[in-house]
Amino acid sequence: APALAEDIKQGGSMTVTYKDDVSTLDPAIGYDWQNWSMIKSLFDGLMDYVPGTTELRPEIAESYEISDDGTVFTFKLRDGVKFHNGRDLTAGDVKYSIERTVNPKTQSPGAGFFGSIKGFEDASSGDADGLSGITVVDDHTIKFELSRPDATFLHVLALNFAHVVPKEEVEKHGADFGKHPVGSGAFKLSEWTLGQRLVFERFEDYWNPGVPKLDQIIFEVGQEPVVALLRLQNGEVDVPGDGIPPAKFIEVKNDPKFKDLIIQGGQLHTGYVTMNVKMEPFDKPEVRKAVNMAINKDRILRIINGRAVAANQPLPPSMPGYAKDYEGYAYDPEAAKTLLAEAGLADGFETELYVMNTDPQPRIAQAIQQDLKAIGINASIKSLAQANVIAAGGEEDQAPMIWSGGMAWIADFPDPSNFYGPILGCDGAVPGGWNWAWYCNEDLDAMAKDADAMVDPAKAGEREVMWRDIYLKVMEDAPWAPIFNEERFTIRSERIGGDDKLFVDPVHIPVHYDEVYAKDVQ
């Protein structure tokens, strides 16, 4: 039974492995599976979530106020928040950090999230040095003025891209700041051997004395997940950061030794097939609907050993706005054929299905391929490296169909809007964009804008409904065939304790490092 938070003794160490290298720990830049939650532990932002949930709560902000029109956000900072270099964190640092992210020189992938702050255009184009919308009221007060109401703004401030960095350290290390991160987080970096391992150490002066629980976390990189699992069995690894490899899944799941160590959790993820509405014959809604009806999702779930639940709409079930009662397009090959015939394609057609080349994506694509074949669609598979698939999707006339698995879409933050803009909105339907269906519905874009302007927490429910409608309308046009929402199955060693939710944290992916603890020091 998990001990109560107060009873947990601090101390101990944990070893986490990843297959891929950790690229950078600069919060303005890091946007990987590996570094996302590492950065969250090294740095702090104004906002964060309750561990293991999608519930927002202030972090270094003590409190905040939102103006009625939803365009002014004022934050009061906590006392005694220190950087790892000993200096006190001030409101100026917050401003500096966000401006740094927006500054084009930083090349931050997250700059766009701050688009609602006043002065964004000037700052992001490099015309202005800072954001006129951010005002440092005093050392402990900071004020954000938005150019439009933005219901997601608190989530944005919880993003890594809004985490606070000390200016002097950034200037000291220049471009290498990502290798010498100094933040105000619960852990500080104590060792980084490139390509091998990183060691995090507990930050003694952390403003929240109860956190973190561990003294040390060792990250080892470059190891095959299968081997990481072997090492876990051998007691050398506590958390395999890449989860349970598909090849071992059934074996592990059925192994009584592991029974108590496996943790299952939802994810803000949807896997879908995009159909390029600008390419024949997917310009016909009937065809797209036929595809939706042709795919036998249950069989696909079986192929991936049941590690997901069938999806019928863009949003995953744990996302606010998910339409529980929506039935979507049921599996019905006969009806699909009829639809095709209506579209004048009774004899089917030839097309291509792009897919990223790592297991199990090509397998899923093959299952889809077989289903499509049953209704007369001959889709040949193009299985390519991730970068190439993404590039093909960004071309208007290149990829008729793409299976999104492995590339998208895990939410940046738990808000329904996050599933729309870049992947379904008109903004994304540009060359190089992520809207691989090239779907652009001006009406829906307008609706989305309205929804996001509903900042008032009281109207949250209304906003949810609005978003729900947007996604259902999308499904009417069927630019996607949603296939499944992935469930996360992860495993941890017996030594490591903590609420199960921490290991499948929807935000601190894959593990909430600050909150888990070592049992052997209890």
The dihedral of CA 55, 59, 65, 66: what is its sign? negative
Degrees (nearest 5) of the Cα angle 412, 200, 231? 90
From the list 353, 483, 412, the residue with the least C-alpha distance to 157 is 412
Interface with another protein in residues 343-402 (CB under 8 A):
357, 359-360, 362-363, 365-367, 369-370, 380-388, 390-392, 394
Interaction of residue 233 with another protein, rule CB under 8 A: yes
Residue with token string 């259902």: 472
- Binding residues for another protein restricted to 125-144, rule: CB under 8 A: 125-126
Sign, CA dihedral 295-299-305-309, equals positive
Query: Is the CB of residue 105 less than 8 Å from the CB of residue 148?
Result: no
Shortest spacing between CB 113 and another protein, in angstroms? 6
Size of the site for another protein (CB under 8 A): 87
Q: Verify cis geometry, omega within 30 degrees of 0, for the bond prior to 510.
A: yes
Strand-pair category, 349-356 with 377-384: parallel
Residues 6+ apart with CB under 8 A from 2: 497, 498, 499
Residues 187-206 binding another protein (CB under 8 A) are 193-196
User: Is 391 or 465 the residue whose CB approaches another protein more closely?
Assistant: 391
Contact pick of 72, 278, 422, 445 for another protein (by CB under 8 A): 422
Contact pattern for another protein over residues 243 through 272, marking x by CB under 8 A: --xxxx-xx-x-------------------
List the interface residues with another protein, window 67-126 (CB under 8 A).
104-105, 107-113, 115, 124-126
Tell which one of 82, 148, 179, 180 touches another protein (CB under 8 A). 179
Among 226, 309, 310, 341, binds another protein (CB under 8 A): 226
User: Which residues are CB-contacts of 197 (< 8 A; sequence separation ≥ 6)?
Assistant: 191, 218, 219, 220, 221
Question: Per CB under 8 A, which of residues 3..32 are in contact with another protein?
Answer: 17, 19-21, 23-24, 26, 29, 31
Contact 265, 318 (CB under 8 A): no
In sequence order, which residues have a C-beta less than 8 Å from that of residue 13 and are 6 or more positions away? 214, 215, 216, 217, 218, 518
* Sole binder of another protein in the list 3, 50, 137, 175 (CB under 8 A): 175
d(CA 241, CA 511): 8
- List binders of another protein among 25-64 (CB under 8 A): 26, 29, 31
Token pair of 230 as six digits: 């072997």
Residues 6+ apart with CB under 8 A from 306: none
Q: For residues 488 and 74, give the distance between their C-alpha atoms in angstroms, rounded to a whole number.
A: 36
CB 112 to another protein: min, Å: 4
Nearest distance, CB of residue 428 and another protein, angstroms: 9
Of residues 60 and 295, the one with the C-beta less far from another protein = 295
Q: What is d(CA 445, CA 333) in angstroms, rounded to the nearest whole number?
A: 32
Window 438 to 477, contacts with another protein (CB under 8 A): none
> Residues 294 to 353: which contact another protein by CB under 8 A?
299, 301-306
What residues pair up with 142 in beta bridges, in sequence order?
Answer: 75, 136
Cβ distance to another protein smaller for residue 104 or 210: 104
CB of residue 23 to another protein, shortest distance in Å: 4
Q: Is 147 in the site for another protein (CB under 8 A)?
A: no
- Smallest gap from Cβ 446 to another protein, in A, equals 19
The Cα 386–Cα 392 span in angstroms is 10
Q: Please identify, using beta-carbon distances, which residue of 71 and 152 lies nearer to another protein.
A: 152
Q: Binding another protein by CB under 8 A: which of 67, 132, 223, 318?
A: 223
The minimum distance between CB 485 and another protein, in angstroms, equals 17
CA distance 428 to 274: 13
Shortest distance, position 10 Cβ to another protein, whole Å: 28
The least distance separating another protein from the CB of residue 211, rounded to whole angstroms, comes to: 28
- Residue of 137, 346, 430, 460 that binds another protein (CB under 8 A): 430
